[in-house]
Structure 1
C-alpha cells in the first residue's frame, strides 16, 4: 500500500521541490527576454511532473541552468577614446600603418554610432501632453522635436532624420496611421510607437501590420514610455552593431594577426575570446548538439560568450582558412549564419533551441591565405592583408619588443646583456628567413638563454655585450645564405618570385637541351597552371624564332627540360610564365641570365605581361635574398605605392608590358 512512504522518498520529494523553486528564482533573476523566460518556466513545469531519476530530468535541469547562466543583457561598457586606442596599437605593434589605420577607422565608426544621441519625434495634438512627453524624454538624454499634428510631422520627416516617432492615433488632417506609413516609406528602420485613448484590438492589429513597434493606451505611466523607448533603441543598436563589417586579417604566420585582435579588445576594454578553427570538422562545434542525450553541449560560440559573461566581446575566429568538413557537416556553412549581419540577431544554437543575439559581438577572423575559404564565407569578410616585415622593421621590433621580453624570460634583468645592431642583423640574415617574427623570436630567446648559462658559469657577474661572433658561436653554423649575391650567372637559369602561405620566396627556374623528338619535359612538382604557363612560353618563342635568331627546325630534333628545384614542394600559378620564357630564351641564345634580377608575371601567347598577386610579399622576399632589380608587370604599378621607403631605396623595380621590353636587360 502507498499510504506509508519511506523517509528517503519524503526527503527526495522535498529536495526536488526545493531545487525547482530555486530554479524558478534563478530564472526570474536572470532577466531573460520575455519569450525566453516563458520557455524556461514551461521547462520547469515539465520537470515538476518528471521523475528526478530519469535522464530527461537531468537534461532539463542542465538546459535551464545553461539558459540562466547566459549573459542575456550583461555587457561591458566600451571605452570610446580613439586616441587611447591609437596609442595602444602603436605601443604594441610596430609598422603595419595601413592595418592600424583601417582598424582605427573601424573603431571610429563603431564609436560614433554607439555614442551618438538618438533623435525622437513626438506627434501629439494636445499641447499639455506634448510638452510633458518632450520634458520626460529630454531628461533621458535624447534629442526631441515635437509636432502638433500629422501634417507638421510629415514635413519634419522630410527635413530631419529620426530614430523613433511617438505619435497620437487620432489627429486632424493626417492621423497616426498616416504618419506611420510616411515614416516607413522614408526609412523602414524608423521605429514608430502609437499612443491613443481610443484603443481597439482591430486598430492595434492594423498598426502592427503596418510596422508599428508598440501600441500604448492612454492613460499611460511615464515608466511605460521610458521602457518602450529603451526596447526600441536596443533593437536599433543591434541593427547598427550587426551592420559593421567582419575584419579578416590575412597574412603569413608570425605577423601579429592574433595580437592585433587582442589590442582591439584592450583598446575598447572589451572581453577577448579566441577559438581556433583549424581542423574543426563537426558542424556541432559551431551550432551545438541537440538535447537528445545527457552530454549534449552548446557550440563553441555560445560556450565562450557564457564563459566571459558578456554579450559584446571581441571574438576572434583564428585559422579560419584551415576549417574542414566531413560527414558530420560543414562548419564553414554554419559560420555563414554567425557572421551574417542580417541573421546574427536571431542565431539559434541547436542546444539552446531559442534565438540568442550575436549582434553586439565584434567578430574578427584570421587566415594565412584566402584561397581555401569558401566564396560565400569570404564574402562576409573585409580582408586586411598583412604582408610581413622588412629587415629594418624586424630590427626595430627586436630592440623595442623582442629583446626586452627575452631578457625578462631568461632572468637577466639584474645583468641585462647589450646586444649590438650587427648581432641582430646576423640573426635576421643568417638564422631566419620568414615574413613574420616567430622564428626570429625563438633565435633571440636561444641567444639569451645561452648567455644566462654562461653568466652563471663565470665567476664575475656583469652585463656582457653580444656581438656577431658570439651569436654565430651560440647558434652554430648559419642556416641561410644570400643565394642571389653568392651565385654566379648561368645560361638557362633565371630567378623568379613566388607567393606562398608563409609569405613570398624566390625560386630558380632551370632549362636545358638534349637530343630528342621535340618534347617539353617539366619537373619539380609543378601544378597544371604552371605547366600550361611553360607551354605558353615555349609556344611564344617557337612563333618568334627569327626575332631571337633561333633555327626554326631546332625543336624537331631536341627536347627541352624545365626544372624548378625543391621538387618535394608543390608549385603552381601563372606568375612564372615570364620567368620560364626568359630562361628558355637564355638557353636557346646561349646568353647567361643576370642572377641579381628577379622576374614575375603572367605571359600570354602574344607576348603581353599580365598582372600578378602577392606583390609586396614577393618584393620583400627578393629584398631578403639580396636581389637588386625586380621585373614586374606594369599593371601592378599601383601596388608599388605601398612599399616601405627602405625597399624603394634599395631595390630597382622595372615595370613592363611586353616580354621584348626586358629580354636584353635581363640576359647578358
Structure 2
C-alpha cells in the first residue's frame, strides 16, 4: 500500500490547489525522493527498522531541499538502506579444503591450524543438526496434522499427549522448539512451561489453546512463553513464530563459541591467518586496526545532532562488506590507548559479548544492529596489556616463534621466489643454497617472526639485480653460497649474544622472553665493603628488584646450608647488575639466576658457562614456574647453551616443544634451589 499522501480521487481536476499542495506535488515527483520511497519498500527492512525509515521519509517530504536538515535526513536514509540487514554468506565448512587453504598460505604453525580446524569442525556439526520440534496436545488429530506440516518443512518432529510425556521426551532428547496446548490431562501447558523454563531455558515455547483469553495469554507470557496462539491455528503465523524462535535458538548455540584472540610476537602471521580463515569459510573479510585508538566514537559513531556525524567503523566495515556475517579482524588490540581522555575498550566489551552484540546500537544509526553473525578475531602482541574483562571474553591462541628450520623452509618456498619476481628477477636464474639461506637468517635477522627476514631477502634481491645488470643478462644460473652472503650483504647488523666459553665467578646466564621472542641475559654479582646494601642496576623493574631481595634473604637465612659465614652481609654491600642498562627489564623469571650469581660470588665457585636458568624463587627456596618456555629454549640453542634448568612445574610446556628445538639441548627440571646449585656451580 502506498503510504505517502496522494491526491484525493474525488477531488475535481479543475479545483485550484493551495501553494503548499502544489509544492507537495512537485516534491512527490522528485526522482530522488521517489527512488528513496521505492527502495524503502523493497528493502525488506526488519520490523523494528521499517517504521523508523518511513517516519524519516515523511519528515524528509516536509523539509526544504535547500535546508541542511534535508541532506542530513537523506544521508541517514541512504545509510539505513545500504546496511545488509538480511544479506549473509553461506559458510563453507569443508575441513579438507580449509586445511588445504591454511597449509597453502602458511608453513608451520601446526598448533594454531589445529585449533582453527577444531573451531570449524564444531561449526560444521552445528550446521548439520536437524532442528527438533516437540508437539504436546491431547487431541490426536491436532498432533497428526501439525506433525505432517512440520515434517514437510524438514523438522524432526515428536508428538506426545500431555505434559508428563513431554517432560520425559525432553529428558531423552531436548527439543529446540516446544509447541504445547494449554489444557491437557496430568500436566497442563502452564505446568509444562514452568518445568521447561527451569530445566531447558534455551528451548523456545509456543502456547496453543482453544480457550484464548487476554488473561490466559498474559499468564502464559509472564511464565515464560515465547509466543501465544489461539485455535484454530493460523499456520502461517505458527510457521513464522517457529522460524523466529529457531533462528534465536541457533544464534544462542552459535554464540557459545569463542571469540578468537591471536597473540604472539610481530611477524608471526596473525593477520594473514585471519584472512585465510575468511577464505576457507567463504566469508567476506575486513581488517580494523585499533592501534592508537582513543575515542570510542570511532567504533560507536557520532550522534546525528553533531555536524559531520557518521557511523562508527564497525558498521562502516559491515556496509562495505555487504553482508552481516563477515570476518572482522580487530588488529593490534593491545595498542588501544587507555587514559583520562577516553577508553575505547568499553565499546569492545559490548561488541565481543555474545549476550549484548545481537542488539548493538551505533550512535549514528540509533537502532539495534545484529552483530551475532560476525566472526570476530582479535590480535595482540601482549595480551597482558588488555583489561581483564576483555580477555575473559576471548580465547587466546598463541603464535610461537618460528624455528630456524621453519624460517629456512618459508624463505626457500615463499619469500625468496616472491621477492625475486618483485625485483624483476627470475627464480630460475638463481640458486640460493641452504647454507646461504641459513646464514642470512642467523647472521642478519634477530626476531621471532618473518618481517626482518623478508626485508633482508629484499635487500639481497636488490643487490643481485644490480649484479645481474653489471654482469650482463644471459650469464647462466648464479649460485649463492654461504660465503657469498657476507660478501654481498656486508657487515652483520646485529650483535648476537653468545654463551661464555669460560666459567666465571659471580656470572650466571638467564633466559628471558620479550615481544620479539626469547633471549639470553647475563647476571653479574660482586661484593665489596659497605653497610648492608643491595645495589641493583640495569634498568630493572619492580618485580625483578623483589626477586633479587628474595634471593638474598633466602641465602642469608640458609647461610649454614651453603657453607656461608653467618655475618657475610654485616659489613658488605652486594651489587647485582644486568648488562644492557638502556633496555628496561621486568618479569618474574630471573629469581634463580640472581640467586646463583650471588651464591657463586659468595662461595667463590664459578658457574658453568654452558648452563642457563629460568625460574622464580620463593623465600623457602622453592623454584616457581615461568612462561615462554619454548622461546627461551630456542634462545638458549641459538646462543650455544647445552643445559637449560627449568622449574619442575614447566614439565608440560617442555613436553609440547618440538623435538627439533630440543635436539641439542638438555632440559633439567628442578623443584628447589639446592638442586640448581648442584647442577650449576663447579
1:507 shift after superposition: 0.9
Indicate the residue corresponding to 2:574 in structure 1.
560
**Partner of residue 679, structure 2:** 665
1:517-552 deviation per Cα after TM superposition (whole angstroms, max 9, x unaligned): 332211111011111211222222233334444444
What is the correspondence of 1:417-428 to structure 2 with a 5 Å cutoff? 417-428=430-441
Q: Contact 1:193–1:216 (CA<8 Å) still a contact in 2? A: yes
Query: Which of 453, 466, 480 in structure 2 is aligned with 1:440?
Result: 453
Choose from 489, 492, 497 the match for 1:483.
497
Instruction: For residue 17 of structure 1, report the CA deviation from its aligned partner.
Output: 5.4
Give 3-state SS (helix, strand or coil) of 2:385's partner. Answer: coil
The match for 1:153 is 166
Residue 661 of structure 2 aligns with which residue?
647
The one of 460, 464, 481 equivalent to 1:467 is: 481
1:312 corresponds to which residue?
Answer: 325
Q: TM-score, normalised by structure 1?
A: 0.94
Q: Secondary structure at the match of 1:494?
A: strand
2:411 to 398, 402, 407: 398
User: What is the rounded CA distance, in whole Å, between the counterparts of 2:305 and 2:256 in structure 1?
Assistant: 35
CA distance in 2, matches of 1:14, 1:147: 60
Give me the TM-score of the superposition, normalised by structure 2.
0.92
Partner of 2:585: 571
2-structure distance, mates of 1:4, 1:223: 46
Deviation at 1:252, TM superposition (A): 0.7
Structure 1 residue 221, shift from structure 2 partner: 5.2
Q: Structure 1, residues 194-242: CA drift from partner, whole Å, max 9, x if none?
A: 3344433333333322222223344455443333222121211221222
Q: Which residue of the partner structure matches residue 425 of structure 2?
A: 412
Q: Secondary structure at the match of 2:32?
A: helix
Contact 1:59 1:293 in 2 (8 A): no
Q: Which residue of 2 aligns with 1:98?
A: 111
Distance in 2 of aligned mates of 1:548 and 1:128 = 90
* 2:222 equivalent in structure 1: 209
Q: Give how far 1:166 is off.
A: 2.3
Query: 1:362, CA displacement in angstroms?
Result: 1.0
Deviation of 1:584 (Å):
1.4
2:206 is paired with a residue of what secondary structure? strand
Match for residue 386 of structure 2? 373
Residue 127 of structure 2 is aligned to residue 114 of structure 1: yes
Please say if 1:384 is aligned against 2:378: no
* Alignment match, 2:538: 524
Give the Å deviation of 1:610. Answer: 1.1
* Secondary structure of 2:49 counterpart: helix
Aligned twin of 1:321: 334
1:1-16 aligned at under 5 Å gives the runs 13-14=26-27
Q: Does 2:274 correspond to 1:268?
A: no
1:630 paired residue among 638, 644, 649:
644
* TM-superposition CA deviations, 1:404-440 (whole Å, max 9, x none): 3223322323634111110111012111111111111
What value does the CA root-mean-square deviation take over the aligned residues?
2.5
Alpha-carbon separation, structure 1, partners of 2:625 and 2:338: 34
Pair 1:68–1:665, CA change in 2 (3 A): same
**Separation in 2, partners of 1:326, 1:574:** 27
Partner residue in 2 for 1:88: 101
Q: Verify: 1:513 aligned to 2:527, yes or no.
A: yes
Give the match for residue 83 of structure 2.
70
Residues 1:176 and 1:437: Cα distance change in structure 2 (over 3 Å): same
Deviates further, 550-559 or 404-413: 550-559
Whether contact under 8 Å (1:80, 1:111) holds in the other structure is yes
SS at structure 2 position matched to 1:574: coil
Separation in 2, partners of 1:546, 1:148? 83
- Whole-angstrom CA distance in 2 between matches of 1:396 and 1:328: 47
CA–CA distance in 2 between the matches of 1:555 and 1:445?
57
Q: Residues 285 and 326 of structure 2 are in contact (CA less than 8 Å); yes or no, is this contact kept in structure 1?
A: yes
Q: CA deviation at 1:307?
A: 0.9
Partner of 2:3: none
Query: Alpha carbons of 1:204 and 1:425: their partners in 2 closer, same or farther (altered >3 Å)?
Result: same
* SS of corresponding position for 1:555: coil
By how many angstroms is 1:149 displaced? 4.2
CA distance in 2, matches of 1:562, 1:153: 74
- The alpha carbon displacement at 1:603 in A equals 1.5
Which of 11, 22, 26 pairs up with 2:35?
A: 22
Match of 2:467 in 1: 454
1:515–1:93 Cα change, 3 Å: same
Q: Is the 8 A contact 2:401 2:517 kept in 1?
A: yes
- SS for the counterpart of 1:162 is coil
State the distance in 1 between where 2:180 and 2:267 align: 57
Q: 1:153 to 1:536 in 2, by over 3 A?
A: closer
Q: Secondary structure at the match of 1:434?
A: coil
- 2:615 — aligned with what? 601
Partner in structure 1 of residue 596 of structure 2:
582
Instruction: Name the counterpart of 2:371.
Output: 358
Partner of residue 11, structure 2: none
Write the deviation string for residues 643-663 of structure 1: whole angstroms up to 9, x where unpaired: 010122211111111112122
Question: Is 2:306 aligned against 1:293?
Answer: yes
CA shift in 2, pair 1:53/1:199, >3 Å:
farther
Deviates more, 1:648-657 or 1:476-485: 476-485
Q: Is the 8 A contact 1:348 1:355 kept in 2?
A: yes
Deviations 1:291-322 (A, max 9, x none): 11231112111111111011111111111111
Preserved contact between residue 390 and residue 620 of structure 1 (Cα < 8 Å): yes
Task: Show CA shifts across 1:23-67 (max 9, x none).
Answer: 232222222210111122122222233333333332222222111
Q: 1:170 to 1:645 in 2, by over 3 A?
A: same
TM-aligned CA distance change 1:135 to 1:658, over 3 Å? same
After superposition, the C-alpha distances for 1:257-284 in whole angstroms (9 at most, x for unaligned) are 1111111111111111211111101111
Aligned length: 666
> Are 2:417 and 2:427, in contact at CA under 8 Å, matched by a contact in 1?
no
Query: Is 2:262 aligned against 1:279?
Result: no
Contact 2:27-2:61 within 8 A present in 1 as well: no
Q: Are the counterparts in 2 of residues 280 and 331 from structure 1 also a CA contact under 8 Å?
A: yes
Q: Deviation at 1:374?
A: 0.6
Match of 2:4 in 1: none
Give the 3 Å change call, closer, same or farther, for CA 486–401 of structure 1 in structure 2. farther
In structure 2, how many angstroms separate the alpha carbons of the residues matched to 1:253 and 1:363? 20
Return 5+ residue gaps in structure 2 as ranges: 1-15
